[in-house]
């Protein structure tokens, strides 16, 4: 009975949001507006750690990542530049964009799936952040061109499945920064379902350094993108970075294929 009542309540909420055109969300002191179809943070309960929270690694890590990012951005100087790769519907783009709006900062929000980037644009417009958030509808990798992707809700990955018909552009991160006249990056957020190393390799390390990198790690999918944990560790060593997850575990090697979640990539 309780489940039926809850489902009915959620249906009425969604119907109201649809008529209204948006829903309100108070998040970490910021009053935000989201398009009614945004499938993110539907309830304040999404931020609670219930039961054995270690089993709920995704929620815990995401919460820690969000608080950490906001704390870092709050302390940032003027003209802060944030790059959000895999922006989805834009919860980080609009939250962090709201925090740096008065600092004359910029958010480069990168999302390859057209249906997601459409909602992202609506959320940016609802929060009057068009002058802050730059949207690029593309995947990011070491080569430019076009790639085939499979898409399931918030997850999108490169695909070799003949049944998948979604082709999207792909570009190097250094080219996207140059295109948008961004000569520095203060915060780099990467959530690309396994293409982490390819994104990192396309950053212009010879021209700039990033003091704050938050990278979500998906070891189970690295093989799909043609690299291993050993390759990633070698890259981090070459660029004098260390990987620390949300449980303060330092990775000197990646031995398993289990999901790790958001990690800090910090200068050694």
Give yes or no for residue 213 having a pLDDT over 70: yes
Q: Show me where the domains of the chain are located.
A: 61-267
Mean of pLDDT values over 227-236 = 97
Residue-averaged pLDDT of the chain: 87
Which of 37-41, 109-113, 130-134 bottoms out in mean pLDDT, i.e. has the lowest? Answer: 37-41
Q: Minimal CA–CA distance to 191: which of 62, 4, 13? A: 62
CA distances from 116 to 25, 89, 97, 164, 194 (A): 19, 6, 18, 17, 19
Structure tokens at 68: 């950490």
Contact 64, 28 (CB under 8 A): no
Instruction: Show Cβ contacts of residue 160 under 8 Å, excluding neighbours closer than 6 positions.
Output: 148
Q: What pLDDT is attached to residue 98?
A: 95
pLDDT of residue 156: 63
| pLDDT at position 189 | 97
One CATH from 3.40.50.300, 3.40.190.10, 3.40.50.2000, 3.40.50.150 for 61-267: 3.40.50.150
Give the mean pLDDT of 200-226. Answer: 95
Average pLDDT, integer, range 134-157:
84
pTM of this structure = 0.81
> Has residue 163 got a pLDDT over 80?
no
Residue bearing tokens 């000569």: 183
The pLDDT value recorded for residue 56 is: 60
Residue 43's pLDDT is 63
Give the confidence band of 216 by pLDDT, cuts at 50, 70, 90. Answer: very high
Q: Which residue would you say has higher pLDDT here, 207 or 162?
A: 207
Alpha-carbon span 260 to 19, nearest angstrom: 39
Q: How far apart are CA 26 and CA 95, in angstroms?
A: 10
Q: How confident is the model over 72-82, as a mean pLDDT?
A: 90
Q: 138: closest CA among 146, 130, 127, 129? A: 146
């Amino acid at each position: 009975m309780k489940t039926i009542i809850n489902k009915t309540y959620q249906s009425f909420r969604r119907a109201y949001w649809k008529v209204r055109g948006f829903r309100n969300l108070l998040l970490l002191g910021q009053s935000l507006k989201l398009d009614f179809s945004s499938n993110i943070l539907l309830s304040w309960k999404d931020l609670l750690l219930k039961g054995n929270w270690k089993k709920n690694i995704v929620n815990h890590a995401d919460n820690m990542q969000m608080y950490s990012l906001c704390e870092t951005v709050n302390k940032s100087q003027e003209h802060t530049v944030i790059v959000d790769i895999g922006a989805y519907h834009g919860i980080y783009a609009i939250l962090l964009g709201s925090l740096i709006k008065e600092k004359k900062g910029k958010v480069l929000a990168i999302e390859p799936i057209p249906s997601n980037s459409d909602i992202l644009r609506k959320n940016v417009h609802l929060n009057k952040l068009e002058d802050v958030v730059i949207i690029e509808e593309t995947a990011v990798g070491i080569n430019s061109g076009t790639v085939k992707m499979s898409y399931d809700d918030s997850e999108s990955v490169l695909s070799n499945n003949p049944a998948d018909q979604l082709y999207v552009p792909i570009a190097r991160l250094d080219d996207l920064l140059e295109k948008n006249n961004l000569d520095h990056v203060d915060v780099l957020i990467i959530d690309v379902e396994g293409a982490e190393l390819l994104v990192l390799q396309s950053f212009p390390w010879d021209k700039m350094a990033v003091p704050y990198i938050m990278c979500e790690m998906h070891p189970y999918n690295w093989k799909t993108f043609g690299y291993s944990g050993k390759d990633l560790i070698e890259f981090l060593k070459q660029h004098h970075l260390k990987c620390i997850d949300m449980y303060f575990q330092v990775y000197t090697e990646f031995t398993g294929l289990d999901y790790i979640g958001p990690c800090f990539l910090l200068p050694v």
